[in-house]
Amino acid sequence: MTRKKREYPLIEELEITALAAEGKAMGHYHDMVVFVPMTVPGDIVDVQIRVKRRRFMEGYVVRYRRKSPLREEPFCTHFGVCGGCKWQNLPYREQLKFKEGQVFDQLTRIGKVELPPISPIIGSQETRFYRNKLEFTFAPRRWYTYEEIARGDDIEAAPALGFHIPNMFDKVMDVDRCWLQPDPSNDIRLAVKRFCIEHDYPFYNIREHSGLMRNLIVRTSSTGEVMVIVVFAVEDEARIVPLLDHLAVQFPQITSLMYMINPKLNDSTNDLEARLYRGRDHIFEEMEGLRFKIGPKSFYQTNSRQAYELYKVARKFAGLSGTEIVYDLYTGTGTIANFVAGQCAKVVGVEYVPEAIEDARSNSALNGIANTVFYAGDMKDVLDDAFVARNGRPDVIILDPPRAGVHEDVIGTILRAAPQRIVYVSCNPATQARDLALLDADYRVTAVQPVDMFPHTHHVENVVRLERR
């Protein structure tokens, strides 16, 4: 006997009342929360439910009965299909209000610690073309929107070079113009796609694991330099060389032209060799007179201009006088460590990725900074009492962990090291709040500063200063 497909209700004239987590908005239906993406508070919509749980439902808009006066016209033609920039339909000032409120809610509801007044969020000076890195994916057949299918258009079976459709590893939306990265990003992507189509280069099929063209990575910098990395599925010199030569001629402003060969079943590139074809194997970022070397696998905050604002907050919260030993935990390529080195006696940086630590050391040498030392390894294994004894007890600890937050063993070592101040930089206020609760017995929160790094998304960075009780 075949199971009958579950039928979900169509809710008519649902009022969207508030923004919610992960870029969604919500309304209420018979005392149940209904999450609806791509809507804003004040919208009145008919919603087709697609997920129903005991306490909430999720659905999508089938008809707008009345659009909210808050609503703003999205500037990107891919809005609603592409997984990024979900808040283009919301004025930037409203986005900042929600992000500031999100920080307050998560620190109070999850952390349950005493807080000072939260400083007004620092908005991004640039809300378009603010990213310095994008990765595009090739596919032999582009994603067709629901609207195209519903109209019965004569759809051409065209290939794609763009972004993955959310939650669909094998579906790629072809990008016409992306508003995230400055020139010449769009022109480079379109030129690569055009050349590959004209010369019959097969686009990679992730399901069948066939084809040549896999990924295109473009990095730009505040110094005006450009890095392009083309990822091929197989070694095919007869096709690789003409494409790279074409890029070099068409875009002489490319500082670093590289390529990778990826025969694996997944698109990850961290374990692949980056081969230099033209130019140098790095580009430079600059911040307050410091130069940072960015290689093909280097991590650097993707909003360069706003990263400067974030690091200024971290340095201010550290309250350095010139005599302190500072630990920069989860240091990455040592950007924060080198940024604060001129105002303290010594900086000790720790990071999991060995290549990042090599970049950190190179950046210190590049800038003539002699008071930094860097260690590679898993934080919970490296940072122990013996490590503190060898490197000196920290006066200040700066934390900038991944979204998962700080491991409980690391929290224990921090508490035993007993620094006077802790500066906690977080891309996830929820896990930050959890960690603040673990530190609360010995440390009180004395300052909170949200910083918006990613306009038109729900993501927010938050910096907290803790002082020893």
Q: ∠ CA(388), CA(391), CA(395), 5° rounding?
A: 70
The residue whose two tokens read 């909430």 is 56
**How far, rounded to the nearest angstrom, does the alpha carbon of residue 295 sit from its chain's CA centroid?**
18
Amino acid at 353: V
Q: Which residues pair with 51 in a beta bridge?
A: 58
The residue whose two tokens read 């990213």 is 131
Distance in angstroms (rounded) separating the CA atoms of residues 210 and 162: 18
If we measure between CA atoms, which residue out of 467, 465, 383 comes closest to residue 424? 465
Helix axes 408-417, 429-439, angle to 10 degrees: 50
Nearest-10 Cα torsion for 115, 120, 126, 128: 70
Distance in angstroms (rounded) separating the CA atoms of residues 88 and 146: 20
427 catalytic residue (yes or no) = yes
Pairing of strands 56-66, 32-37: parallel
**How far, rounded to the nearest angstrom, does the alpha carbon of residue 390 sit from its chain's CA centroid?**
35
Pairing of strands 461-468, 443-451: antiparallel
Distance in angstroms (rounded) separating the CA atoms of residues 406 and 408: 6
Helices assigned H by DSSP within 15-120: 92-106
Distance in angstroms (rounded) separating the CA atoms of residues 315 and 318: 5
Q: Which residues pair with 292 in a beta bridge?
A: 285
**DSSP string covering 283-315:** EEEEETTEEEEE-TT----SSHHHHHHHHHHHH
Which is catalytic among the residues 82, 178, 344, 427? 427
Are 213 and 196 contacting, i.e. CB atoms less than 8 angstroms apart? yes
If we measure between CA atoms, which residue out of 145, 133, 21 comes closest to residue 79? 145
Are 132 and 302 contacting, i.e. CB atoms less than 8 angstroms apart? yes
Structure tokens at 93: 């000032």
Structure tokens at 410: 């690391």
For residue 390, count CB atoms less than 10 angstroms from its CB and return exposed for 0-12, middle for 13-18, buried for 19 or more.
Answer: exposed
If we measure between CA atoms, which residue out of 76, 171, 163 comes closest to residue 455? 76
Q: Is 178 helix (H, G, I), strand (E, B) or coil?
A: coil
Residues carrying an active site annotation:
427
